[in-house]
Amino acid sequence: MAETNAPETPVRFETHPERYVHWRLEFPAEHAGKVARLVMDVKEDRGMRPGYPLKLNSYDLGVDIELADAFQRIRFEHPDVRAVVVTSGKDRIFCSGANIYMLGSSTHAFKVNFCKFTNETRLYLEEMSAESGIPSLCALNGTGSGGGYELAIACDDIVLADDGSSAVSFPEAPLLAVLPGTGGLTRLVDKRKIRRDLADAFSTIAEGVRGKRSVEWGLVDEAPPKAKFDEVVKRRTEALLARSKRATTRPIALTPLEVKRSDQGAEYKYVSLALDPKARTATLTVRAPAGKEPQTPEELAKAGASAWAIQAFRELDDALLDLRFNRPSIGVIAVKTTGDAANVLAVDTMLTKHRDDGLVREVLLHMKRVLKRMDLTAKSFFALVEPGSCFAGSLLELALASDRVYMKDSEDEEVSIATSPVNASLFPMANGLSRLQTRFLKEPERVSRALEQGTMSTRDAVAAGLVTFAPDDIDWDDEIRIAFEERAAMSPDAMTGMEASLRFAGPETMETKIFGRLSAWQNWIFQRPNAVGERGALTLYGKPERPEFNWNRT
């Protein structure tokens, strides 16, 4: 399959627990619905595409799509849940990680986007603990290796059965000549704070570490004998429930999105994606709510998934994933908005006023996650602010997340943008700062001034530092056309590296480290002959031949 072509079968990201193939989402009666139990039981013959059996609870993208869906449903549909337990439905194996044959047969772009999606899913699990008050426990009733152990260390607590054979391991470097691609190395030293020398040894011991040593090294929290495993898991689960700080909320059913797809793009209720494959560009348009939206948390619960703040951002999320996985040759995205900015600001006012409500908090967190998905998408985003645009408040974040902002300086038509309280701190980036704070690292006083200004004309927005270029009516069409043609003609590799370097100014966090290293080191390693060449370790995995390495260090 050529790198420039979309997958033969497009990847879709919506699913439902009733359609899960590889996971079971359970709510044990002994905990009265307060614990969600996620059981990984991968079906070998049900991979996302033919050609590889998913043996030993190894996973592909389809497995992770179900996991991401489960996390969303725990947040919105199961408000009584106070803790999550992740375990395996198979004996003596938790998860052997990403399926090697799937990786070996995938395009480079798919491998990197696969790692990115699994990273985001694990970060959502960590956010569920930190922001929603739902801590998690990984009950390793068998070996967790590679991505399996990476899922474990995304949980708050880890219990490993000491049964003489179960271990935790990162075998990627010694066996495959690649790295643990979903944040494994970073979480070892930044999250679990394991000593560098021990992390070095652990990451090069293919067979992993068992029992008592895994506890001594900090790789797991407890390693009870098999006979006491269930007892320890129960005790730790009760401790998670005791420290849970989840706010009381109301359930919302995440109903299926309605979308019309064609070769020209996709049309949702609030989002449009229009493709121009020949030019390698696309237009992503988000519409404001058309009428009155919920004014209270009670009204929000009644409106459910049809509320604009939920539906529009679910649609945007789906469109971004479509661009990542199914439109690899599309390089430059025009970001547009349309509708009444006052309606967007009214939604923002409600969300800000009731931000401490449990349901409203989950809505805001979901909006934050979707905006982060945009930050981490390897496309060039150019926001176009024109007459009829509504880059206001939560939709202004789309412009702030873009690599450039073009705003028309029109003499005849009104063109404006507007800030709202949500732009202050409700949607932090991976670096922990708001997009306004990241924009004005050199002049932090500009943040408060921009927030105080509210609605701004083109000239006000330019003066406030919120606009890159402001062509007038005469030059607008030509400048936009030239900008898109020039950007689409540049090396996509260089643009991906440049954007990933520029988007996260300011503090370094575990999250920025994970994605920075994924964009740089893993992106590079996945293309090196030592891993994916004809005699590379990943290519020859499972075959009798030994890999042949180029021993030069670079």
CATH architecture of the domain 17-243 equals Alpha-Beta Complex (3.90)
Residue 175's pLDDT band (boundaries 50, 70, 90)?
A: very high
Query: Which two structure tokens, joined as six digits, stand for 313?
Result: 């951002």
Query: Which two structure tokens, joined as six digits, stand for 312?
Result: 């529009």
The reported pLDDT for the residue numbered 3 is: 40
* Mean pLDDT calculated for residue range 316-322: 98
Query: Which two structure tokens, joined as six digits, stand for 504?
Result: 């996260």
User: Using only C-alpha atoms, what is the Rg of the chain?
Assistant: 24
Q: pLDDT for 25-69, tens place per residue? A: 999 999 999 999 999 999 999 999 999 999 999 999 999 999 999
- 3-class DSSP string for 166-184: CEEECCHHHHHCCCCCCCH
The reported pLDDT for the residue numbered 6 is: 54
Residue 143: exposure state from Cβ atoms within 10 A (0-12, 13-18, ≥19): buried
pLDDT at residue 4 tops 50: no
pLDDT at residue 554 tops 80: no
| Start and end residues for every CATH 3.90.226.10 domain found in the chain | 17-243, 262-495
pLDDT at residue 517 tops 90: no
Q: Which residue has the higher pLDDT, 178 or 1?
A: 178
Instruction: Quote the CA–CA distance of 168 and 209 in Å, as a whole number.
Output: 6
Query: Which two structure tokens, joined as six digits, stand for 118?
Result: 């699994």
CA proximity to 229, closest of 144, 136, 160, 158: 160
Instruction: Quote the CA–CA distance of 399 and 385 in Å, as a whole number.
Output: 9
Query: Which two structure tokens, joined as six digits, stand for 489?
Result: 């003609």
* Mean pLDDT calculated for residue range 421-427: 97
pLDDT at residue 1 tops 50: no
pTM over 0.85: yes
The reported pLDDT for the residue numbered 356 is: 94
* Mean pLDDT calculated for residue range 1-5: 40
Instruction: Quote the CA–CA distance of 346 and 352 in Å, as a whole number.
Output: 10
- Strand-pairing partners, residue 283, are 274, 334
Q: pLDDT for 182-215, tens place per residue? A: 889 999 999 999 999 999 999 999 999 999 999 9
DSSP element (H, E) containing 39: strand 35-40
Contact 220, 214 (CB under 8 A): yes
Query: Which two structure tokens, joined as six digits, stand for 394?
Result: 């939560």
pLDDT at residue 491 tops 60: yes
pLDDT at residue 449 tops 80: yes
pLDDT at residue 5 tops 60: no
Q: What percent of the chain has pLDDT over 70?
A: 99
Instruction: Quote the CA–CA distance of 322 and 273 in Å, as a whole number.
Output: 10
Query: Which two structure tokens, joined as six digits, stand for 157?
Result: 């607590």
Going by the DSSP 8-state scheme, the letter that residue 222 receives in this structure is: B
Instruction: Quote the CA–CA distance of 206 and 311 in Å, as a whole number.
Output: 45
Instruction: Quote the CA–CA distance of 511 and 123 in Å, as a whole number.
Output: 8
Q: pLDDT for 214-256, tens place per residue? A: 999 999 999 999 999 999 999 999 999 999 999 888 999 999 9
CA distances from 386 to 320, 338, 408 (A): 22, 9, 6
Strand ranges inside 250-311, DSSP E: 260-262, 265-267, 271-276, 281-287
When the pLDDT of each residue in the chain is averaged and rounded to a whole number, the result is 95
Q: pLDDT for 360-398, tens place per residue? A: 999 999 999 999 999 999 999 999 999 999 999 999 999
Residue 7's pLDDT band (boundaries 50, 70, 90)?
A: low
Instruction: Quote the CA–CA distance of 423 and 547 in Å, as a whole number.
Output: 51
Torsion-angle region of 133 (φ positive above 0: left; ψ -120 to 50: alpha; else: beta): left
| Fold observed for domain 262-495 | 2-enoyl-CoA Hydratase; Chain A, domain 1 (3.90.226)
DSSP element (H, E) containing 87: strand 83-88
Contact 470, 408 (CB under 8 A): yes
Work out whether the CA dihedral 486, 488, 491, 496 comes out positive or negative: positive
Nearest 5°: the CA angle 435, 440, 441 is 100
Q: What residue has token string 């009204």? A: 299
Contact 294, 360 (CB under 8 A): no
